[in-house]
Amino acid sequence: MIELKDLAKKKRRFKLILFLSYLLFATLLLASIFMLHIYFNNLTSQKKFERQARIHAKDKMEYLNFFYENVSDTLKAIANNKNFLNFVGKHKDKSIVENLFYTMISSDKYYMQLRYINTDGNEVLRFDRRKIGSKPYEIPKDFLQNKYPRYYCRQCLKLPKNKIWFSDIDLNVEHGKVETPFKPVIRIAYPIYILDQYRGFLIVNIFMKEYLKILTLSPTFNVYLVDEQGYFIIHPNSLYNWSSYTKNGKNIYKEFPKYAKMIMKTKKPLFIKNKKIFIQPLKFKNSQNLRLIYVEKIEKIKDSEHYIEKRTFFTVLLAVIVAIPFAFLFSSPINKMYESLEKKSNELKNLANNLEAKVQKEIAKNAKKDRILENQSKLAALGEMLANIAHQWRHPLTRLSLILQNMRLYSSKGKLDEKTLNRYVQNSLEQIEYMSQTIDDFRNFYKEDREKIEFKIENAIQNAVKIIEASVKHNGIDMEISADESINYKGYPNQLSQVILNILHNSKDALELKKVKNPYIKIKLYKSNNSAKIEIKDNAGGIAEEIMDKIFEANFTTKQGTGTGIGLYMSKTIIVDNFGGNIFVKNDKEGAIFTIELPL
């Protein structure tokens, strides 16, 4: 027969074993949950880092491309100027051309030098600027140099007609030595032909220090700019800038020894997940291959490590707190077990009572996610709007510049009478009115629809086409519209225009990416079975069958590194929720056909 004393000992031993068992169980359980949390938190953090880095890199690439196009347009404007061609071919109008050069170099504070060099490599006309924003000045004839020994001169003397030449981004050299303090520069040249005879070239030197600073500026990342040999052009620590010219010899193989070869070999955007490193290759207009490297800032890494340490401490503490009541609970008499069951029952009852509140909370979370997607869509639309305005304004700005040059020319010769002045003023006002009307058109287009109105669907199509028309023409894309003008609809015209604009942008991007010969976009509006149908067709080759069902999903994109995956998702949401219609896509032999169906 078991003694009470032995029974008491066994009971105490059982309680101790039970307590230790539950302590170990609770610790392992919470540790597992914590490790899963850390894993998914890191995964989310990696995706966020990659997304932000891709967006940042895309913005910087667009910024550089706009800069290059702007300089190219300036050189072409000079090269096609009649006075300049008279100066080159007949040695006339030198004073006019000097004024033209002075005007052009004054128009941009980053222009360092503007020159015309003849077929012998001699500088014929040259304007310089000592530093960013300083007043430009003409170099006297006795100080002009022969530049034939320089590599860029020999290359530019071989340029074919209408070919823009870009040098590498490098440090300025004067009298055979690198100028100090360092002055990063780039040279852009354009050949001069008169009656198909080569007569030399125009070349502009540009201060690149501020452009490179903007290119690598980020509040979120440490950004490195690396040359083809792995040396740093820009480093977060400015002591290592232009390391190929300094004694420290800092390079990517010393900074990232484990990943350097991978970084230098990649020709596409690359994300190294476990180290949060994103690489964006930069293929410039020249043959220079640079790389932008994005790395998470040390401050963020330290915050993350501190967060893990705190969570580890609280996990152990919570394991002890949870284990104690569990041990006492299961070692207590049956009446306590009953009380525990009753307590759990009450908790379940409270949980059921609070279920509706939790459901509402989850609905609010989903609504917040939808608002975030909508805001991202608005930001993407804003970027597209600015790009379209730039295309619309480029030609009026060039015309205004030439009008002002001609006014200065006539004034310097004393020929600017009242009639001529009024004509130039009238021409200038017409250009300004066109630019003002462009802004009004864009503002009205992006104005939010507050209530349903009766409108012609054809007008909504024309409004969308007007926004993208300049960009489409710039890329040589033919646009054809066939519309039934009698179709009216009650709804939100601006929202419908924005949906059409999203699809047009996708077609334009696909045609540009695939470099289609004779590209076109066709828009057709017609009635069918009590519905209005808008078909948008292109000849970009269509959409792959395996992704056809995914293109209207949120965050799905085929534009790796540039797309957001928001446009088509928001377009379908607008058509389905706000119009009660539908949007779908199919392929034919030439490309994709998007159809918007609106019930009449």
What would the DSSP string read from start to end of 9-41? HHHHHHHHHHHHHHHHHHHHHHHHHHHHHHHHH
Higher-pLDDT residue of 284 and 52 is 52
Give the whole-angstrom CA distance, residue 347 versus residue 342. Answer: 9
Neighbour-count burial of 433, counting CB atoms closer than 10 A to its CB (0-12 exposed, 13-18 middle, 19+ buried) = exposed
pLDDT at 197: 93
Give the whole-angstrom CA distance, residue 446 versus residue 462. Answer: 14
pLDDT at 47: 84
Lowest-confidence region among 105-109, 416-420, 507-511: 416-420
pLDDT in tens, 241-269: 999 888 888 999 999 999 999 999 988 99
Higher-pLDDT residue of 427 and 236 is 236
Measured at the CA of 479, the angle between CA 477 and CA 485, to 5 degrees, comes to 170
pLDDT band at 335 (very low <50, low <70, confident <90, very high): very low
Q: How many CB atoms lie within 10 A of CB 77?
A: 18
Higher-pLDDT residue of 22 and 516 is 516
Higher-pLDDT residue of 555 and 332 is 555
Give the number of residues written for the chain.
600
pLDDT at 173: 77
Whether pLDDT at 445 is above 60: no
Which whole number is the average pLDDT over 58-69?
A: 83
pLDDT at 187: 92
Whether pLDDT at 239 is above 80: yes
pLDDT at 9: 55
3-state class (DSSP) for residue 557? coil
pLDDT at 116: 96
pLDDT in tens, 165-203: 998 888 887 777 888 888 899 999 999 999 899 999 999
As a whole number of Å, the end-to-end CA separation of the chain is 92
Which whole number is the average pLDDT over 76-99?
A: 91
Residue recorded with tokens 């409108």: 455
pLDDT at 545: 87
Higher-pLDDT residue of 1 and 76 is 76
pLDDT at 205: 93
Higher-pLDDT residue of 219 and 10 is 219
Dmax of the chain from CA atoms?
Answer: 132
| Pick from 267, 326, 231: nearest CA to 561 | 267
Buried b (16+ CB within 10 A) or exposed e, 486-521: ebebebbbbbbbbbbbbbbbbbbbbbeeeebeebbb
pTM over 0.75: no
pLDDT at 470: 77
pLDDT at 315: 60
**Domain architecture of the chain: domains with CATH:** 80-204 (3.30.450.20), 218-296 (3.30.450.20), 448-599 (3.30.565.10)
Whether pLDDT at 3 is above 70: no
Mean pLDDT across the chain: 80
Lowest-confidence region among 26-35, 418-427, 474-483: 26-35
Higher-pLDDT residue of 194 and 468 is 194
pLDDT at 366: 58
Whether pLDDT at 43 is above 70: no
Neighbour-count burial of 199, counting CB atoms closer than 10 A to its CB (0-12 exposed, 13-18 middle, 19+ buried) = middle
pLDDT at 300: 56
pLDDT band at 394 (very low <50, low <70, confident <90, very high): low
Percent of the chain predicted with pLDDT > 70: 72
Higher-pLDDT residue of 302 and 200 is 200
pLDDT at 218: 85
Measured at the CA of 396, the angle between CA 395 and CA 397, to 5 degrees, comes to 90
Structure tokens at 253: 């193989």
Whether pLDDT at 372 is above 80: no
